[in-house]
Amino acid sequence: MCGIAGLFSFNNNNQLWFQALSQVNESMIRRGPDAGNTWFDQTAGLTHRRLSIIDTSEKSNQPFFDENHRYAIIFNGEIFNYRELKSTLISKGISFRTNSDTEVILKLYIQEGENFLNKLNGFFAFSIYDSVEQKMLIARDRYGEKPLYFFNNENVLAFASELKSISCFPITREIDPVSLSFYFQLNYIPQPRSIYKNISQLNPGHYLIVSKDTVEKKQYYKIPFNKKEEIVNTDYLTACSQFENLIDASVKKRLISDVPLGAFLSGGIDSSIVVALASRYTNQLKTFSIGFHDEPFFDETKYANLVAKKFNTNHTVFSLTTQDLFDDLFLMLDYLDEPFADSSALPVHILSRHTRKHVTVALSGDGADELFGGYMKHVGEYKIRNAGYIEWLISRLNFILKKMPQSRNNKLTNIFRRLNKMSDGLLLNVKDRYRLFSSIGSYEYVNNLLTDKWRANNHTIQETENEWLNYLLSNKDMNEVLLTDMNLVLPSDMLYKVDRMSMANSLEVRAPFLDFELVDFAFSLPADFKIKDVKRKRLVQDSFRKILPEQLYNRPKQGFEVPLLKWFRTKLKSYINELTGEKFIINQGVFNINEIIKLKQQLNSANPGDATAKIWAIIVFQHWWKKNF
């Protein structure tokens, strides 16, 4: 796990860009505290920060060159099948100087060119430069586990692992109103966009070929999606057995490490499966979880303790108070280099910070919810697609439900919140319903929130959204919803969060559920193997029911929540007033003050609803704005 950045110059007018490489390198030090190096010639520059995981010796530092010094590589990530790939190359007479996966990637490219990408099993972002042909390859992994931003004009192409790093280059930064609108609708900025107009993210499963003449963007991987009538005909028990074998193999691959390794353990099914399997291959696996001492509604440590005891792990619980969360808040906000308002980033940041004191690598259960249907919105969508009398009744109670108290902060108000959203969803078509279930704000809300200067054209918004929603063709197959989540929510929200919060603390996180063989398998299965009636992740749960503690089943899925409403009314009240005060808002010119006043009134009412999430998105944006502008 590392930080990478570089540039390719199309002419001789880019000296300032080359000079910026040292600053770029310094900006990535948390991603790679173990080593940092920069190299450039007249055409290209490469810089790298290293977090040593595989072959920790100095000879594997980067940029890494072949024996003839023709090819150079910078690499962020891990290749879990590198030993098998290396053996194949050795059988062809290829020699190696290190035991690193970095050298394997470079030698594969030298032998096979860009066609080797589909052979890599892992997560990655890397660049390879050929100094003879003056050509550069820049590639990103299949699902977007590792980030890669790039800027391109007629003079130069620049890239980096993080937005704060690419911003060190002499780039004029201009906020993109379209990205801004999506942020206040979704709580995050969907890839391949960034908050800035002229900086994009390389799409997952894509790569760039850069030469003096051209910049070509190509796709090497796409999640295979079979229409309902083309789904593989297999029985459920056979599918469970295949899943067990695939996730077991994936976990085993991800235990490769030359530094201390552990696993996150939330007490949910996904992380418990990962821990159960990893404990087969590692004695006294180190596991880590966080508990909320002051917020029992959000605390899941009793389930994590059950799993740790069952599989004899060396378990550590970081028991946090509300004050501990609050103390970490501004550390987390300061690390964000563009607005990101998924509040669960805060506990992920704290968990990563504490875990890093014990290990350098942690396994996680990320990806299972998107892949196998683990969210309440999936239950809501399934029920609407299979609507009966109860759903009909909920639709008729729409007006009444809107009057009920709604928030995420206790069980009853959270039920009302979900029923209200389902009631609204019953009245919509499949694409509009997906927007509703995936958003905190509507078109109308965002248009009312932003001033004319910052309001994006609705036609542009809808055109962009339709590109994400093109798989939502009918009301017949839940797989189309899961595929949309895999392409939108997974890279832009979940993986973004885990990468930034873990790398802020120099911790590598590996997600066994995102092994490409497992993902391809999942999308070969009928949707009702994954979600049926009210049962989420059906196949995942049933496959490991025989070995996991029974208390993990039939319990509410809580997730990482933060007591925002309580903070907004107490500890953060003065900060909210500072960032949303009338004078500041009017001088800033981004928001309509009347909408801000309305949100604050709703926040302090008996029915805050989604105002909590909306205010949080505004606070995150304002904190970022003050830091950058």
Cα distances from 528 to residues 8, 368, 532, in angstroms, run 48, 15, 5
Q: Tokens in use for 569?
A: 């009314």
Q: How many Å apart are CA 86 and CA 90, to the nearest integer? A: 6
Q: Which pair of structure tokens corresponds to residue 249?
A: 């193999």
**pLDDT at 606 exceeding the cut of 90:** no
Q: Is 127 helix (H, G, I), strand (E, B) or coil?
A: strand
**pLDDT tens-place string over residues 286-296:** 999 998 777 66
CB burial readout 575-588, b (16+ within 10 A) else e: bbeebbeeeebeee
Residue from 456, 434, 445 nearest 193 by CA: 456
Q: Is the pLDDT of residue 147 over 70?
A: yes
401: confidence class by pLDDT, cuts 50, 70, 90:
low
Confirm whether pTM is higher than 0.85. Answer: yes
pLDDT of residue 398: 57
Which burial class, exposed, middle or buried, applies to 382 when counting CB atoms under 10 A from its CB (0-12, 13-18, 19+)?
A: buried
- Tokens matching residue 605: 């009412």
Is cis: bond before 549, omega within 30 of 0? no
The pLDDT of residue 245 is: 98
Amino acid identity at 225: F
Distance (Å, rounded) from C-alpha 170 to C-alpha 434? 39
- Cis peptide bond upstream of 192, omega within 30: yes
Q: Which residues contact 412 (CB under 8 A, 6 or more apart)?
A: 405
Query: What pLDDT is recorded for position 13?
Result: 87
Residue 87: both structure tokens together: 């053996």
Give burial (CB, 10 Å; 0-12/13-18/19+) of 590.
Answer: middle
pLDDT at 416: 57
**What does the alpha-carbon distance between residue 327 and residue 325 come to, in Å, rounded to a whole number?**
5
* Domains defined for the chain, CATH in brackets: 2-183+198-219 (3.60.20.10), 228-371+481-550 (3.40.50.620), 563-629 (no CATH)
Go through 493-526 and write b for each residue having 16 or more CB atoms within 10 A of its CB, e for each that does not: bbbbbbbbbbbbbbbbbbbbbbbbebbebbbbbb
Question: Residue 563 pLDDT more than 80?
Answer: no
| b/e sequence 553-563, b meaning 16+ C-beta within 10 Å | eeeeebbbbbb
State residue 150's pLDDT score. Answer: 98
Task: Please report the pLDDT score of residue 393 as a whole number.
Answer: 57
What single-letter amino acid sits at 169? Answer: F
What does residue 150 show for φ and ψ, rounded to 5 degrees?
-145, 155
CB atoms within 10 A of CB 128: 24
Percent of the chain with pLDDT over 90: 73
| CA separation for the pair 458, 487 (Å, rounded) | 22
Greater model confidence, 54 or 243: 243
Q: What is the pLDDT of residue 396?
A: 54
Q: What is the CA radius of gyration of the chain?
A: 24
Residue 613 clears pLDDT 60, i.e. is over it:
yes
What local confidence, expressed as pLDDT, does residue 564 receive? 83
Region at 140 (left for phi over 0; alpha for psi -120 to 50; beta for the rest): beta
Q: What is the pLDDT of residues 585-599, one digit of tens each?
A: 999 999 999 999 999
The pLDDT-based confidence of 566 (bands split at 50, 70, 90) is confident
pLDDT (tens digit per residue) in 300-311: 788 999 999 999
Q: Evaluate if residue 256 carries a pLDDT over 70.
A: yes
User: b vs e for 64-82, b when ≥16 Cβ sit within 10 Å of the residue's Cβ?
Assistant: bbbeeeebbbbbbbbbbbb
Task: Name 46's bridge partners.
Answer: 6, 39
Phi/psi at 180 (5° precision): -60, -45
